[in-house]
Structure formats: C-alpha cells, structure tokens
Amino acid sequence: MQTGNDTIAALATPPGIGAISVIRVSGEESILFVDRIFKGKIKLTECNSHTIHYGKIFDTKNNLIDDVLVSVFINPNSYTGENSIEISTHGSSLIVEKILAALIECGIRLAEPGEFTKRAFLNGRLDLTQAEAVADVINSRTEASLRGARNQLDGLLSQKVEWMREMLINTSSLIELELDFAEEDIHFLSGNQILLNIESIKNEIDELLNSYSFGRVIKDGVNVALVGKTNVGKSSLLNYLLKEARAIVSEVPGTTRDIIREDLNIDGILFKLFDTAGIRTTDDIIEKEGVIRSREAVKNADIVLFMNDAVKGFSSELYDELAEITSEDRIIKVFNKIDVRKIEHSDADVKISAKTGEGMELLFQKLKEKATGSQNYTEKTAIITNLRHYNALKSARDFLTNSENALKEKLSGEFIALDLHNAETALSEIIGKVTSEDILNNIFAKFCIGK
C-alpha cells in the first residue's frame, strides 16, 4: 500500500443507484484540487473548516457533471487528520465515475482499501485497536457485536493496554535505577513489590484472554448444528426457530439431504444454524452423502443440538459417535416431541416440542450459556475479539512469566528489565505503538474502499 501525503479519493457510499453518493477526498492538496472543478459562490480554498457549500462540478473540459454539496475539513480536524473534502452528488454511478475521472485528471489518485483509516492511524487520530474497530463497527450484524466494536472504538481496550504498559514502564525504570546504584546497594522497589506488580498485570491480561472466546462469539456468531437420527424433528425445530417453513418436513425418514443454513438472532447473539440430514445407515447414495455432510457439520460446530425423539428415547450409540467427533461440552441433548409423550428422560438437557413451542425458553437459555460461557460481561467490559490482540497478549504474558522466574531465581535485574521491556513491546503492538508495515497492510487491506 502506498503512503505519503499525496491526495486520494474514493466513493464512500455503496456503489449503484441511491439518493446521494458521497465521494471522499483527502490529502494536503485536496481542497485545492477539488476547487479546480467546483464552481460555487466562494472558492473552497477560502472556506472555513466544517462548512458545507452548494455548487456545480465540471469536468476538466468544462462540461457540467452535477450539482453537489461539498463539505470542507481543514487539518487536523478531519477523520484522516489531513485536509479533506466530501462531495455529495446525486446517487448515480455514472456521475460518481465522471467526478472521480475529473479528480484523477487534476492529479488525485484512487484510494486503496482502508487508506483513509490508515492515514487516520498514521496521523494519530486513532490507535490501531480503534482503527480495527472501525471495520468491526461497519461489519456488525447484531446488537452485541456492535456494542463490542463500539467499546473498542471508544478506546476501552486501548485504555486497559495503556494502563498495563505504564505499570510495566514504571516497574522496569525503577529496576534500571537500582542497577545504576548497584554498588551502593540501594533498593527502590522490593522484589516482592515487583512480583505483585507483575501479578496484577498478568491478572488483567488473563481477563482479556478469557474474554476472547466470548468476543469471537459476539463478533462472528456461533455455528450450531442440528443433528440426530432421521425423523426426530430437526427440520421442524429449524422452521419453528425461524418462524417460517424453511425446510421440508415430513414423516418420511431421510427428508433432509443437503445442509440448510440460516441465521437466528437470540438477544443480540448471532446463531448460524445448520439443519442436517438425519444420521442412519442407508443405501441411497444421495442420502449417504448427506450423512457424510452431517458429520462434517458436527466437526465445524461450536454447539451441537443433539436431537432425540422423546417417544423413541435416547440414541446413546449415536451420542457416543458424536462425542468422538466433537467435545462433549459442546453438545446439548435435546428431546423433541414432548407434546406426544411426556416422560422423564435423565439424559435430557432440554425437552421441547417443535410443534407447540414448549420448552423453547430453556433451549434459548442453554444456547446462550454455551455460546457465552459463564463469564459475566457488562456493557462496559473491555473484551478482545481479534486474534492479533490475543496473540500479542499471550506473548506479553509469557515474557511476564519469564520475568517472575528470573526474580524468583534472583537473577540480575538486567534480565528482569529485559523481559518486562519485551512484554511492554508486545502490548505496544496491540495499540500500534510498535508495528510493521506488513501488519498495517494486512489490517487495512481487509477494509472496504472509501473507509
């Protein structure tokens, strides 16, 4: 990805027909360049920041393209921290194409994916976790994922990381000071106090690491496979949950052949449901393939709804087979059709009727419990949702453990200070205080153009 202070432009709204389209332009000369093709009551170069101006845009051969509204942002008070312009046009791809072509003729180049946000980061408008959160906010599909991404954008994670860094820097600078006074045997910080400091940072790190499975769930959703023998009511349950006749249901065993995938939102958590072919031995080659896919779905599932027919009882052989493919703590044992027969099943986690809806509240509760674990996250808890953050935290934790061992073994302060310094560097990577061009390119390439 190119960087530098050249001027970039891109369509910021979705392509196609709409009420308006917004073209974003950023760079030191953006106002000057746009002014060359804009005619309004005043020159854009003479406007104040945060003002909007009506006018017309012409191409470089002086043909009218469209009437527009132009918003002016003067550095550093813009999203990117540079001089920036937003041009609102009538929502037509042809108009957008023509204006972009005119801008390119003036010397502006098309922006790469995420380049506006990358500039915002490089200019210190956002740290790296906040820049990443911008993409997460855009991609959020549920209440919970949006809240998590918003918290990160508001700096909840950054604050926590900064606090840990500061604590590490203070601790290691006192150790280094002691090293300077080694001959006089002066101690600024007792070994015990250092251990306590390290311990409290490790606790914070552990809390964040533990939040990752929950964070992943709220960001990406959870895969739920509906699995069981034929005719137990898997497709009926899917239809009940979706409130529509999505899958074919029949009393003929082996109705579902292919996997049917649908989304369900329960209290802001996205459950990706996979209705599968009932598992049985069969000579039908299509059904056979379906059964292979059912097992595959179990492998990929975060949660397995293992469906049983309350009338026929628990399929313990199939359960044992599933428990070999996935871990038992992922399986919820469901007994369906309790409207027909209500008997005690000691194996049951939940008893439901896909026909009457009985027992569904408990099923939802079990699904949520399995998805989010037992941790208690409030709306304002910093959580991590990103593998990059997870790995950096783990590496910081390893360095802290090294420093603890060095302390216990009474190694020289230099070793302890070095480990603390490495831990601090790992934390700095999270917020982007230390980072490589490769990491940046990797992060911003996943953004959309114009963001």
Ligand X SMILES: Nc1nc2c(ncn2[C@@H]2O[C@H](COP(=O)(O)OP(=O)(O)OP(=O)(O)O)[C@@H](O)[C@H]2O)c(=O)[nH]1
Site track 273-312 with ligand X (rule: CB under 6 A), x = hit: ----xx----------------------------------
Bridge partners (DSSP) of residue 84 are 26, 73
Q: Per rule CB under 6 A, is residue 337 in the interface with ligand X?
A: yes
Binding partner of residue 250 among ligand X, Mg ion, none, CB cut-off 5 to 8 Å per kind? ligand X
Rounded to a whole number, what is the distance in angstroms from the first to the last CA of the chain?
A: 14
326's CB contacts (< 8 A; 6+ apart) are 298, 299, 301, 304
Secondary structure of residue 120 in the 3-state scheme: helix
Secondary structure of residue 420 in the 3-state scheme: helix
Q: Per rule CB under 6 A, is residue 445 in the interface with ligand X?
A: no
Single residue of 10, 22, 111, 354 touching ligand X by CB under 6 A: 354
- Shortest approach of ligand X to residue 85 CB, angstroms? 57
The residue count for binding ligand X (CB under 6 A) is 23
Binding partner of residue 231 among ligand X, Mg ion, none, CB cut-off 5 to 8 Å per kind? ligand X
Q: Per rule CB under 6 A, is residue 355 in the interface with ligand X?
A: yes
Q: Per rule CB under 6 A, is residue 256 in the interface with ligand X?
A: yes
| CB closer to ligand X, 79 vs 335 | 335
Nearest to 348 by CA among 363, 330, 364, 369: 363
Site track 215-254 with ligand X (rule: CB under 6 A), x = hit: ---------------xxxxxxx------------xxx-xx
Q: Quick one: 366 exposed, middle or buried, by C-beta within 10 A (0-12, 13-18, 19+)?
A: middle
- Determine contact, residues 246/260, Cβ cutoff 8 Å: yes
Site track 227-246 with Mg ion (rule: CB under 5 A), x = hit: -------xx-----------
| CB closer to ligand X, 31 vs 305 | 305
| CB closer to ligand X, 249 vs 417 | 249
Planar angle of CA 355, 260, 331, nearest 5 degrees: 70
| CB closer to ligand X, 71 vs 231 | 231
Q: Which of residues 245-274 bind Mg ion (CB under 5 A)?
A: 255-256
Q: How far apart are CA 417 and CA 179, in angstroms?
A: 10
Secondary structure of residue 225 in the 3-state scheme: strand
Q: Per rule CB under 6 A, is residue 55 in the interface with ligand X?
A: no
Q: Look at the block and give the residue holding tokens 């739920």.
A: 224
Single residue of 152, 336, 372, 428 touching ligand X by CB under 6 A: 336
- Shortest approach of ligand X to residue 263 CB, angstroms? 19
Q: How far apart are CA 256 and CA 52, in angstroms?
A: 58
Q: Per rule CB under 6 A, is residue 339 in the interface with ligand X?
A: yes
| CB closer to Mg ion, 156 vs 247 | 247
Binding partner of residue 46 among Mg ion, ligand X, none, CB cut-off 5 to 8 Å per kind? none
Chain position whose Cβ is nearest to ligand X: 278
Binding partner of residue 386 among Mg ion, ligand X, none, CB cut-off 5 to 8 Å per kind? none
Q: Which of residues 76-95 bind ligand X (CB under 6 A)?
A: none
The DSSP code sequence of 295-329 is HHHHHH-SEEEEEEETTTB--HHHHHHHHHHS-GG
109, containing H or E segment: strand 109-110
Q: How far apart are CA 321 and CA 100, in angstroms?
A: 59
> Quick check: bond before 253 cis, omega within 30?
no
Which of 18-26, 66-74, 353-361, 425-433 is the region at the interface with ligand X (rule: CB under 6 A)? Answer: 353-361
Q: Look at the block and give the residue holding tokens 């380049």.
A: 115
Q: Per rule CB under 6 A, is residue 353 in the interface with ligand X?
A: yes
Q: What are phi and psi of 98, to 5 degrees?
A: -65, -40
Site residues (vs Mg ion, CB under 5 A): 234-235, 255-256
Site residues (vs ligand X, CB under 6 A): 230-236, 249-251, 253-256, 277-278, 336-337, 339-340, 353-355
